[in-house]
Structure 1
């Protein structure tokens, strides 16, 4: 790292530390009292984004040998548990991977992550590179604490065109059409839908889309706002009933509760023809490009929006998913670690090489003016369609387990798992979840 540039960043980090110290006075939450030492650290997720993050850090470290970033990868589910425990103990990474929303707010409330206001004021080009609606997911109470660093990831309906041709069907545009396809695929010996139920969070994609299609985004907003009995909204009950109807009709692959999404087993069932469809995030396209390139290049992969619900109040163009993954800077990091982290956020993330690699992997950068770059990609059809979905959606809802507080999100996933397994009724789900409101 050039000495003059490092000095400016260290000075900014020193000012940032002073601001955070003063700002912490009078807060009631527990404060970290220790900071890690040595090289700055970065914990990222295994899977689709490894091919972008790993070479980015390797290249960065070659040019910044005096402050190299130590990178470690973790599977999704393992990471969520490990990072919260580590951060709570003041031993988390310098660069913290997250999704924004309620989990980020919990870090902010507890004083674990740095206010990036001064950094963005000194480097306005960083803020200006992002689509505002995506950037806003790293803002808590008007202050930015996290910045996007991966592609936009709306949840889409993937399908295997070959098995659809086998039974002479078209992808469903409405919920009624979806339910009509279930017995047809079952009769052909093909599971209608793959589902990584063991991981639990894929179940949420069905729930959040159905609540939105039935009742509109206002239903979940009431839950976020902690309104009394918000989980008992009729749209929630109807969505849960529709899920159980689909399960009872054998809509999902046998043994779905033992299929893990982290290793891509749910996607494999779809691209090998054992299941016809898969509701999953945009990142799965990257996974399939890596694990099943012939399937992707053959033209047998189809993708569509989630079906409309006839008579529902939600706009069929609304989407759910992750506007991006985000990076925060640990408050407990040393000034030198913060300096390196801020420098990487400024010049490493979405550099020309970084953005090019992101697009080549099959991901959509959440940056302004990306249309030309997407149009040049071999995946232009997929990327352009999802870019249009993300930028044109009337509402792009962050995944509920991240939008909610960690406590409420965990309770929701656990009880939603019981809905899919038929262990509780929609009304029992609502009653239990109403007890978590505001926690």
Structure 2
């Protein structure tokens, strides 16, 4: 099989060589110089370096043709989904069209489809009314229609404040407004094959991604299986016509027990989700997604741990990269039986995604990252909550040099 890989997700997160036999298939990776440099040197493949991350589809189209004999296009990044459709069309390959893919990329089209399907979701507006208020008055969220990782998301005390913020944006048409939902935020991660959800694991956040973007730590811990969560996920997948690949669905559970959609992505979840899911289920999400998308046999499952898994992330994008920081971890957390691994980063130069400038959740790019597990999901949640409250990443003020100005 001749496979074109749009290589955007860090190679260490995917491990393509563990999912595809590079001796049996002809594989070409298209990506930036930094992403191509991640590919193991000994791997049998073609490497095509593009001129930066912008205009991905156009660059690939300029370097390929139908006569090349491509049989598959593989794109595992949220930021390559729409571009992959254009590449497939250029190469004459089957796959979901742009209209279907916009349901899982454009947050307005996404929620409009859920209106028709009867899935509970926040009230929203693509643009505020030309005159008169929004149809709600309380806390309101302004977010990019095609965004991810909570980049550019703002929360406002009133709908009126949100509208004022929206109208002051340089490109307001790229944003939408929605009512703020009070409740616990959960995420569901699993696989879809021929429209069927499988290997689903649901986790609960400690904090929210929008808090992380603002500089606060967040955590997430797995929950016992709940048929309500599975049914809700299946309803969303059906409404948005998701046919294959990974899903990362975020939704609220209110105090009254109501499940309310937030957003969904047809890709791997970030942070430590791949590792936590693998340890809980024995399924490596990326390897199984590749098999599903390429029509290959799914890999064998590994032995599950029997524990519930989670992680905590401490952001570095609000730190000054020119100054050192200190991470303080209380001894009770270092000695806790739920702690599996503590990653501490010492190099300030790599606390953000240098290529895209976006907030990063990668454990090797943040000051501190905790991996945890416990046979009791309640104890796991308590430990992760304690981590977010008690671990401190600080940048002490520099000490004035002798003879310097008085403090």
Please give the range of the TM-score, normalised by the shorter of the 2 chains.
under 0.3
**TM superposition score normalised by structure 2:** 0.26
Which protein has the bigger helix share?
A: 1
**TM superposition score normalised by structure 1:** 0.25
Which protein has the bigger strand share?
A: 2
